[in-house]
Structure 1
Amino acid sequence: MREFTQPPLASAPPVGGLADVVFERAEEDPARIAFARKVGGRWLDVTAARFRDEVVAVAKGFLAQGVRFGDRVAIMSRTRYEWTLFDFALWTIGAQVVPVYATSSADQVLWMLHDAEVVACVVEHEDHAMTIGSVVDRLPRLRRIWQLDAGAETELTEAGALVDDDVVHRHRRAVTPDSVATIIYTSGTTGRPKGCVISHANFMFEADTMTGRWEPVFQTRRDAEASTLLFLPLAHVFGRMVQIAAVRGGVKLGHQPQLNAAVLLPDLAVFRPTFVLAVPYIFEKIYHGARRKAELEGKEGPFDKAVDVAVRYAQALEQKAFGTGPGPSANLRLQHQFFDKVVYSKVREAVGGRVRHAMSGGSGMDRRLGLFYAGAGISIYEGYGLTETTAAAAANPPERTRYGTVGQAIPGTTVRIADDGEVWVHGGHVFQGYLNTPRSARTAPHDGWFATGDLGVLDEDGYLTITGRKKEILVTSSGKSVSPGRLEERVRDHPLVAQCIVVGNDRPYISALITLDAEAIEHWLAMRGKPYAKPASLVRDPDLEVEVRRAVVAANTLVSQAESIRTFRILARQFTEEQGLLTPSLKLKRRAIEEAYSAEVDALYQH
Structure 2
Amino acid sequence: MSKRIVAENLALFYREAARCYGDLPAFATRKRALEWHPVSYRKLYEQGLDLATGLIELGVNAREHIGLFGDNRYEWMLADYAVQFCGAADVPRGTDVTDSELVYIINHAGIRFAFVETVELQKRVLELRDQLPLLKEIILMDPNGHTENGVKKLVDVLNLGSGLRIEGDRRTEDRMTDIKPEDLFTLIYTSGTTGTPKGVMLTHSNIISQIKTLPGIHNCNDRVLSILPIWHVFERVIEMYTISFGGCTYYSSVKTLGEDLRNVEPTFMASAPRVWEKLHERIIKGVKSSHPVRQILFHIAYYLSKQFKASEYYITNRYLKLQHQSRWKHWLMLPLHILRWVMVLPWYGFFNVAVLERIRLGAGGALKTTISGGGALPAEIDQFFNNVGIPVLEGYGMTETSPVISVRPSNNLIVGTVGPPLPETQIKIVDPVSGNVMYPSDQFPYGGRGIKGEIWIKGPQVMKGYYKEPELTKQTIKKGWLKTGDLGMITHNNCLKILGRCKATIVLSNGENVEPEPIEMRLQQSQYIDHCMLVGQDKKFISALIVPVLSEFHQIGIPVNSGKELIVNHPEVQKIIREEIRRMTSNGSVRYQQIKDFRLLPDGFQVGEELTNLHKLKRHVIQEKYNHVIEELFASESI
TM-score with structure 2 setting the length: 0.86
Structure-to-structure mapping, 1:264-275, within 5 angstroms = 264-275=257-268
**Cα contact 1:12–1:205 (8 A) shared by 2:** no
Partner of 1:230: 226
SS in 2 for 1:460: coil
Question: Counterpart of 2:483 in structure 1: which amino acid?
Answer: A
Partner of 2:310: 315
Could you give the per-residue CA deviations for residues 391-431 of structure 1, whole angstroms, max 9, x where no partner exists?
11011122222212222211111111112221111100001
Partner of 1:30: 22
**Cα contact 1:475–1:505 (8 A) shared by 2:** yes
Q: Distance in 2 between matches of 1:530 and 1:53?
A: 59
Q: Distance in 2 between matches of 1:171 and 1:439?
A: 32
Q: Distance in 1 between matches of 2:311 and 2:632?
A: 47
Partner of 2:248: 252
**Cα contact 1:480–1:563 (8 A) shared by 2:** no
Structure-to-structure mapping, 1:178-217, within 5 angstroms = 178-210=182-214, 213-215=215-217
Partner of 1:562: 592
**Cα contact 1:9–1:412 (8 A) shared by 2:** no
Indicate yes or no: 2:239 matched with 1:243. yes
Q: Distance in 2 between matches of 1:255 and 1:471?
A: 34
SS in 2 for 1:118: coil
1:530 offset after TM fit, Å? Answer: 6.6
1:66 offset after TM fit, Å? Answer: 1.8
Say which is worse superposed, 434-443 or 498-507, in terms of deviation.
Answer: 434-443
SS in 2 for 1:471: coil
Question: Counterpart of 1:160 in structure 2: which amino acid?
Answer: G
1:351 offset after TM fit, Å? Answer: 2.4
1:362 offset after TM fit, Å? Answer: 1.2
Q: Distance in 2 between matches of 1:81 and 1:517?
A: 35
Question: Counterpart of 1:57 in structure 2: which amino acid?
Answer: D
Question: Counterpart of 1:187 in structure 2: which amino acid?
Answer: S
SS in 1 for 2:485: strand
Partner of 1:296: 289
**Cα contact 2:368–2:391 (8 A) shared by 1:** yes
Aligned residue pairs: how many?
583
Could you give the per-residue CA deviations for residues 103-146 of structure 1, whole angstroms, max 9, x where no partner exists?
11111111111111011111111221122223222222211101
SS in 2 for 1:149: coil
Against the structure 1 CA distance between its residues 565 and 584, is the aligned structure 2 distance closer, same or farther, given a 3 Å change threshold? Answer: same
Partner of 1:497: 529
Indicate yes or no: 2:346 matched with 1:334. yes
Q: Distance in 2 between matches of 1:131 and 1:23?
A: 35
Q: Distance in 2 between matches of 1:12 and 1:117?
A: 33
Against the structure 1 CA distance between its residues 141 and 53, is the aligned structure 2 distance closer, same or farther, given a 3 Å change threshold? Answer: same
Bigger Rg over Cα = 2
Question: Counterpart of 2:549 in structure 1: which amino acid?
Answer: D
Q: Which of the pair has the greater relative contact order for Cα pairs under 8 Å at 6+ separation?
A: 1
Question: Counterpart of 2:416 in structure 1: which amino acid?
Answer: G
Structure-to-structure mapping, 1:4-403, within 5 angstroms = 16-39=8-31, 42-150=35-143, 152-164=153-165, 166-210=170-214, 213-215=215-217, 219-220=218-219, 225-256=221-252, 258=253, 260=254, 262-298=255-291, 299-322=294-317, 324=330, 325=334, 326=337, 329-403=341-415
**Cα contact 1:186–1:193 (8 A) shared by 2:** yes
Against the structure 1 CA distance between its residues 547 and 439, is the aligned structure 2 distance closer, same or farther, given a 3 Å change threshold? Answer: closer
1:162 offset after TM fit, Å? Answer: 2.8
Against the structure 1 CA distance between its residues 582 and 173, is the aligned structure 2 distance closer, same or farther, given a 3 Å change threshold? Answer: same
Q: Distance in 2 between matches of 1:547 and 1:247?
A: 47
1:198 offset after TM fit, Å? Answer: 0.2
SS in 2 for 1:408: coil
Q: Distance in 2 between matches of 1:161 and 1:233?
A: 30
Partner of 1:428: 460
Question: Counterpart of 1:356 in structure 2: which amino acid?
Answer: K
Indicate yes or no: 2:422 matched with 1:410. yes
Against the structure 1 CA distance between its residues 442 and 265, is the aligned structure 2 distance closer, same or farther, given a 3 Å change threshold? Answer: farther
**Cα contact 2:266–2:364 (8 A) shared by 1:** yes
SS in 2 for 1:508: coil
Against the structure 1 CA distance between its residues 301 and 481, is the aligned structure 2 distance closer, same or farther, given a 3 Å change threshold? Answer: same
Against the structure 1 CA distance between its residues 243 and 235, is the aligned structure 2 distance closer, same or farther, given a 3 Å change threshold? Answer: same
Say which is worse superposed, 111-120 or 29-38, in terms of deviation.
Answer: 29-38
Q: Distance in 2 between matches of 1:336 and 1:573?
A: 44
**Cα contact 1:72–1:118 (8 A) shared by 2:** yes
Q: Distance in 1 between matches of 2:497 and 2:588?
A: 15
TM-score with structure 1 setting the length: 0.90
Q: Distance in 2 between matches of 1:518 and 1:19?
A: 49
Percent identity, please.
Answer: 26
Against the structure 1 CA distance between its residues 402 and 533, is the aligned structure 2 distance closer, same or farther, given a 3 Å change threshold? Answer: farther
Say which is worse superposed, 20-29 or 318-327, in terms of deviation.
Answer: 318-327
* Structure 2 unaligned residues grouped into runs of 5+: 145-152, 319-329, 433-452
Question: Counterpart of 2:315 in structure 1: which amino acid?
Answer: K
Partner of 2:623: 594
1:304 offset after TM fit, Å? Answer: 3.4
SS in 2 for 1:409: coil
Question: Counterpart of 2:57 in structure 1: which amino acid?
Answer: A
Against the structure 1 CA distance between its residues 577 and 20, is the aligned structure 2 distance closer, same or farther, given a 3 Å change threshold? Answer: same
Q: Distance in 2 between matches of 1:40 and 1:296?
A: 30
Question: Counterpart of 1:464 in structure 2: which amino acid?
Answer: L
**Cα contact 2:455–2:483 (8 A) shared by 1:** yes
Q: Distance in 1 between matches of 2:87 and 2:397?
A: 26
Q: Distance in 1 between matches of 2:375 and 2:472?
A: 30
Q: Distance in 1 between matches of 2:137 and 2:57?
A: 12
